[in-house]
Amino acid sequence: MVDGQAHSRFLSTFDEALNVAIIGASGGIGAALMNVICRENPRARVHAFSRRQLTSIPDNAISSTIELENESSIAGAATRVFRQTGELDMVFVATGLLHDGEDIEPEKSWRSLNARSLEKIIRVNTVGPALVAKHFLSLMKRDAKSVFACLSARVGSIEDNRLGGWYAYRASKAALNMIIKTLSIELSRSNSRAICVGLHPGTVNTSLSKPFQGNVRPGKLLQPENASMTLLTVVDNLTTVDSGKIFSWDGSVIPP
C-alpha cells in the first residue's frame, strides 16, 4: 500500500453484507473459503453446505446438509437458502472427488479404466455441480454483480494435457468446464450481471491432493487459506466478459 492511501476493502466489488453459499464446506478448500469470507467480511452471511452438519463454524455461517448425488437434497438446499436469505452474491461449488482411499484412484493407464469409478467421479465432479447450477442460478443477485464459481482443475484442459493418465478426473473436469461455458451463455440472457466461472486453485494441501503431494515441487504446495485468498481475489476482479472461462489461482485463463 502507498502511504496515506486507504486499503480497499476485501471483496470490494460485492456488498459488505454479502450472501454466500458454499457447497462442500467440509472440504479443505471449501472450509477455508468459508473461514476467510466470514473473517474478512463480518457482515457476510455464509450458508455452509456439507454432507454432515458442521460443528465448528464462524458465527456468521449457517451449517446445513447437502448430498450431491441426490437432486432433491440439492433442491431442498436451494429452497432453504431462498427462505432464509433471498438472493446470493456468490456461490462456490467446492466439492470434488479424485480418490476415495479405497478402490477409486486416478488411472495411470487405460488398462485401469473401470465403469464404476468413471461413473462415480463424473457423478460427483460433473453432474453434481450441474444440478447445483440448476437449482441455485435463479437465486443469484440481479441488481449487482454476482458470481457462481465451480472448483475445476487445470488437468481438465484438453489443450494442457501433456502427461496423460487420470482419465476419469480429467474427463469429469473437462465436461464440467463445458457445462460452465454453456451455463454462462444462458445465464447472460436472464441475469446480465451474473458471472459463471471455473476456478483452478493450484495444488492445495487437502485430503484430495495428499497422496500426490510427493510430485509437487518444493514451495509449490499452497495452504488452503492462501489458496482461498487468491481465489477470492480472482473472483473480486471478475467482470461479465469473464463469464464462461476457467481461471487459475493467479488470474490467468486456462485454455479449454
Ligand X SMILES: NC(=O)c1ccc[n+]([C@@H]2O[C@H](COP(=O)([O-])OP(=O)(O)OC[C@H]3O[C@@H](n4cnc5c(N)ncnc54)[C@H](OP(=O)(O)O)[C@@H]3O)[C@@H](O)[C@H]2O)c1
Residues lying near ligand X in the complex (CB under 6 A): 24, 26-30, 50-52, 66-69, 94-97, 124, 151, 153, 200-201, 203-204, 206-209
Instruction: Report the nearest approach of ligand X to the CB of residue 12 (Å).
Output: 25
In the three-class reduction of DSSP (H, G, I as helix; E, B as strand; rest coil), residue 145 is classed as coil
Residue 141 or 245: the one with the smaller Cβ distance to ligand X is 245
Instruction: Report the nearest approach of ligand X to the CB of residue 3 (Å).
Output: 38
Residue 48 or 140: the one with the smaller Cβ distance to ligand X is 48
Are the C-beta atoms of residues 141 and 87 closer than 8 Å to each other? yes
Angstrom distance (rounded) from CA 30 to CA 151: 9
Residue 26 or 35: the one with the smaller Cβ distance to ligand X is 26
Instruction: Report the nearest approach of ligand X to the CB of residue 151 (Å).
Output: 3
Angstrom distance (rounded) from CA 1 to CA 197: 29
Angstrom distance (rounded) from CA 198 to CA 207: 21
Instruction: Report the nearest approach of ligand X to the CB of residue 26 (Å).
Output: 4
Nearest to 98 by CA among 226, 228, 211: 211
Residue 11 or 199: the one with the smaller Cβ distance to ligand X is 199
Instruction: Report the nearest approach of ligand X to the CB of residue 200 (Å).
Output: 6
Q: Which segments of 1-102 are extended strands (E)?
A: 19-23, 45-50, 61-65, 90-93
Residue 22 or 140: the one with the smaller Cβ distance to ligand X is 22
Query: How buried is 254 (Cβ within 10 angstroms: 0-12 exposed, 13-18 middle, 19+ buried)?
Result: buried
